[in-house]
């Protein structure tokens, strides 16, 4: 493929070379079933154990706290399903108004089943912690609140939110989708019962993720079968994926020097776009580095995305996993972004992004938006 400019790292990231090599080797030589008791199986099991340790270190947890799944969608569904079973006598679910569909649509399903799902408002300033208490009651079964929003990069104060919840009632199960936090923000493990992540968002492979579970809380399975992962997640272990996730976790934990670089690139990009009249969603909020959600009055995001694509620049519109849908993202709408700017594109960088790429993006975006705004006049 000719040179391209990848700015959609919140949708997925490029697999790192070390991850790719480890997986290629393991898939060929270490193809044993990790549940088999002969040497080839035991070798696979050892690799899984080693990866589990590496992944646990992302949460400052123990290997036993990690349950591997097929990704964050499955992890989120499992945790929600489990929490409602644990607190079967309760009917209220608290969540944020800006969750990823893997949480939002799972909760929609439970709302149809009779649960009361309350979405806590999120504005561009973040969450109003003083308001939080009004949502708490002894009928709350679960609070599911993401750590970092995938569309805007906004960081939420999960430790504070969950502390408040647990102080009110320690039996309310607290879950945070931390998919977009890994390698970019602190993982909020202090008060959470469950945290969920996905390897392909931090330079690991697709189709593998995990649940981090606090030791003392129950986790009921969503899938039944051969009893792998201590009976919580049946199905033959994805050994190659797990190995890849382990390498990606170790690389992420040891390389945070790109954060400052991304902060600088983001500032440079945003300053240039603001001069052209751009509206940057959550501009003054606490955000992860390298994520900019931007709208221009009179510019249709899908049109801008297509024109950027012609220049071999890849950005997204709407939510990561539904970028082919046209229209205003429900997250942007829920946050109350002014209508004129609500058609936004999301630019998301990674540790592989270079300064030249950001410069090319900035220049091209400015040219294209000027032209698009002129055609509106
Ligand atoms: N949660 C968030 C915040 C995400 O950004 C995504 C993917 O875009 C997911 C969950 C789903 O992850 P997976 O692709 O592993 O199912």
Q: Quick check: 81 and 216 in contact, CB under 8 A?
A: no
Cite the beta strand spans of the chain per DSSP E: 5-6, 66-69, 92-96, 116-120, 140-144, 173-177, 194-198, 209-213, 279-280, 291-295, 313-314, 316-317, 344-348
Query: 180 in ligand 1 pocket by Cβ < 6 Å?
Result: yes
- The crossing angle, in degrees rounded to 10, of helices 301-310 and 355-376 is 130
Q: What pLDDT, on a 0 to 100 scale, did the predictor assign at position 320?
A: 41
End-to-end CA distance of the chain: 37
Ligand 1 binding pocket mutation candidate from 198, 317, 324 (most atoms within 8 A of CB): 198
Query: 348 in ligand 1 pocket by Cβ < 6 Å?
Result: no
pTM for the model stands at 0.96
Query: 102 in ligand 1 pocket by Cβ < 6 Å?
Result: yes
Query: 69 in ligand 1 pocket by Cβ < 6 Å?
Result: no
**pLDDT tens track of the chain, all 377 residues?**
789 999 999 999 999 999 999 999 999 999 999 999 999 999 999 999 999 999 999 998 999 999 999 999 999 999 999 999 999 999 999 999 999 999 999 999 999 999 999 999 999 999 999 989 999 999 999 999 999 999 999 999 999 999 999 999 999 999 999 999 999 999 999 999 999 999 999 999 999 999 999 989 999 999 999 999 999 999 999 999 999 999 999 999 877 778 999 999 999 999 999 999 999 999 999 999 999 999 999 999 999 999 999 999 999 996 444 444 457 899 999 999 999 999 999 999 999 999 999 999 999 999 999 999 888 66
Query: 321 in ligand 1 pocket by Cβ < 6 Å?
Result: yes
Cα torsion 155, 159, 163, 166: sign: positive
CA 125 / ligand 1 centre spacing (Å): 23
CA 115 / ligand 1 centre spacing (Å): 24
CA 74 / ligand 1 centre spacing (Å): 10
């Amino acid at each position: 493929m000719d040179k391209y400019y990848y700015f959609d790292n919140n949708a997925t990231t490029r697999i790192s070379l070390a991850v790719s090599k480890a997986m290629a080797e393991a898939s060929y030589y270490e193809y044993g079933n990790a549940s088999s008791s002969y040497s080839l199986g035991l070798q696979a099991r050892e690799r899984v154990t080693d990866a589990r340790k590496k992944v646990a270190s992302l949460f400052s947890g123990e290997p036993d706290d990690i349950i591997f799944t097929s990704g964050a969608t499955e992890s989120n569904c499992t945790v929600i399903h489990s929490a409602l079973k644990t607190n079967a006598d309760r009917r209220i679910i608290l969540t944020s108004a800006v969750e990823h569909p893997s949480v939002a649509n799972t909760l929609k399903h439970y709302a149809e089943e009779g649960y009361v799902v309350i979405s806590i408002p999120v504005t561009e300033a973040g969450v109003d912690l003083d308001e939080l208490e009004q949502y708490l009651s002894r009928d709350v079964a679960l609070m599911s609140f993401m750590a970092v929003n995938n569309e805007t990069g906004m960081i939420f104060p999960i430790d504070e939110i969950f502390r408040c919840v647990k102080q009110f009632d320690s039996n309310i199960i607290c879950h945070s989708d931390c998919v977009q936090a890994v390698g970019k923000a602190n993982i909020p493990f202090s008060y959470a019962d469950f945290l969920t992540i996905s390897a392909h968002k931090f330079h690991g492979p697709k189709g593998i993720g995990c649940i981090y579970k606090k030791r003392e809380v129950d986790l009921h399975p969503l899938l039944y079968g051969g009893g792998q992962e201590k009976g919580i997640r049946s199905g033959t272990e994805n050994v190659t994926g797990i190995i890849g996730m382990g390498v990606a976790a170790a690389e992420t934990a040891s390389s945070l020097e790109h954060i400052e670089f991304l902060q600088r690139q983001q500032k440079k990009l945003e300053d240039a776009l603001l001069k052209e009249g751009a509206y940057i969603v959550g501009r003054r909020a606490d955000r992860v580095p390298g994520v900019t959600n931007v709208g221009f009055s009179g510019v249709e995001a899908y049109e801008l995305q297509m024109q950027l694509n012609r220049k071999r620049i890849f950005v997204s519109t709407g939510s990561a996993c539904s970028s082919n849908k046209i229209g205003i993202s429900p997250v942007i709408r829920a946050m109350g972004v002014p209508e004129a700017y609500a058609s936004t594109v999301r630019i998301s960088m990674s540790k592989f992004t270079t300064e030249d790429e950001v410069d090319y993006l900035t220049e091209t975006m400015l040219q294209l938006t000027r032209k698009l705004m002129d055609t509106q006049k």
